[in-house]
């Protein structure tokens, strides 16, 4: 590994830690010439997952889209950023562990809603209202009644 500071070709690993159930390795390195330290991350080159949109289009899975939609649902809620990141990682790991090459947005939405239901009721309702495209207050109230009956 080349040093990003002096471009020397040799470094030593000072510390290694895993993230995302061992899918990512974070390494702390030190240059053998200038002695400066820096961090690298290693992860497996995964086979891309294709998301089938409701109109039939296909696009590559983007964890940032899930992160953004969950974050919006959790605005002004007592939900730590780390919990959102954990949910996104769990969803991605679940899909990858199933060896799925294609998945419908509908299935991803259901997985997100299940995770939000366990995390925060208000975030769940917010996400569900957008995901299920509520058009009338009756649909919203129906979802709230269903949520209340599962408690």
In sequence order, what DSSP letters do the residues of 108-141 get, joined into one string?
A: HHHHHHHHHHHH-HHHHHHHHHHHTT--SHHHHH
Is 80 exceeded by the pLDDT of residue 99? yes
Confidence band of 151 (pLDDT split at 50, 70, 90): low
- Quickly state the pLDDT bin for 25 (edges 50, 70, 90): very high
Task: Check residues 127 and 23 and name the one with the higher pLDDT.
Answer: 127
Strand 50-52, strand 102-104: pairing: parallel
pLDDT above 80 for 21: no
**Other residues' Cβ atoms within 10 Å of the Cβ of residue 64:** 8
> Which of 117, 137, 118 has the alpha carbon at shortest distance from 127?
117
Structure tokens belonging to residue 86:
């954990």
For strands 50-52 and 58-60, give the pairing: antiparallel
What is each CA distance from 24 to 15, 16, 42, 89, 101, in whole angstroms?
14, 10, 6, 11, 21
Whether the pLDDT of residue 44 is over 90: the answer is no
Q: What are phi and psi of 35, to 5 degrees?
A: 65, 15
Q: Are 121 and 147 in contact (CB under 8 A)?
A: yes
Average pLDDT taken over every residue of the chain: 89
Instruction: For the beta carbon of residue 19, count every other beta carbon within 10 angstroms.
Output: 13
DSSP 3-state of 90: helix
């Amino acid at each position: 590994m080349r040093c990003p500071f002096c471009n020397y070709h040799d470094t030593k690993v000072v510390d290694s830690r895993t993230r995302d159930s061992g899918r990512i390795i974070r390494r702390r390195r030190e240059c053998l010439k200038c002695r400066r330290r820096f961090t690298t991350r290693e992860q497996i080159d995964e086979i891309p997952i294709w998301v089938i949109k409701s109109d039939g289009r296909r696009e590559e899975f983007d964890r940032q889209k899930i992160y953004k939609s969950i974050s919006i649902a959790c605005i002004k809620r007592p939900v730590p950023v780390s919990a959102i990141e954990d949910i996104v990682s769990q969803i991605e790991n679940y899909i990858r562990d199933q060896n799925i090459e294609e998945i419908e947005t509908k299935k991803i939405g259901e997985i997100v809603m299940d995770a939000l239901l366990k995390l925060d009721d208000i975030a769940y309702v917010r996400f569900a209202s957008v995901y299920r495209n509520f058009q009338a207050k009756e649909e919203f109230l129906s979802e709230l009644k269903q949520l209340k009956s599962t408690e």
